[in-house]
Amino acid sequence: MNYLRKALPVVACLAVWAGAQAADPAKGRELASQCRTCHGLDGIARIPIAPHLAGESRIYLETQLKAFRSGKREHEMMSVIARDLSDEEISHLAAWYESIEIVATLPD
């Protein structure tokens, strides 16, 4: 029993790691075509009320999309879009937007 208690955290970490490895940014880019009107394919929002997604943490993006899908978080557009996304599709989308590099230039 003690062995099982020690092994569970390791198994959980491996499951998370395996899921993280499965995300494919290229597949996410294809899926992002439905996001481009508001968030842009490049992750730079096209409308003032949409957040930029480029360079955002994959964990954050997955969490938010799953919250929209479950109804824990609500938005008239995002709730509808996220409702039909699978966990795998959410991971791919999040991997795509996380993979985009953002460069900031500070004023002189």
Give the tens place of pLDDT for each residue, 5-34. Answer: 555 554 455 445 545 568 999 999 999 999
For residue 68, how far is the Cα from the chain centroid?
A: 12
Q: How far is it, in rounded angstroms, from Cα 87 to Cα 72? A: 16
State the pLDDT at residue 14.
47
pTM for this model (two decimals): 0.78
Given its phi and psi angles, is residue 43 left (phi above 0), alpha (psi -120 to 50 degrees) or beta?
left
- Identify the segments of the chain with pLDDT beneath 70: 1-21
Contact 29, 41 (CB under 8 A): yes
Q: What is the pLDDT of residue 55?
A: 97
Percent of the chain with pLDDT over 90: 80
Max CA-CA distance within the chain? 62
Single out the residue of 27, 25, 26, 47 nearest to residue 36, CA to CA. 47
Q: Residue 9: its pLDDT value, please? A: 57
Instruction: Give the amino acid at 9.
Output: P
CB 88 within 8 A of CB 22: yes
Please report, for the chain, the start and end positions of each structural domain, with discontinuous segments joined by +: 23-99
What is the CATH code for 23-99? 1.10.760.10
Write down the pLDDT at residue 22.
85
pLDDT at 40: 94
- pLDDT, position 92: 98
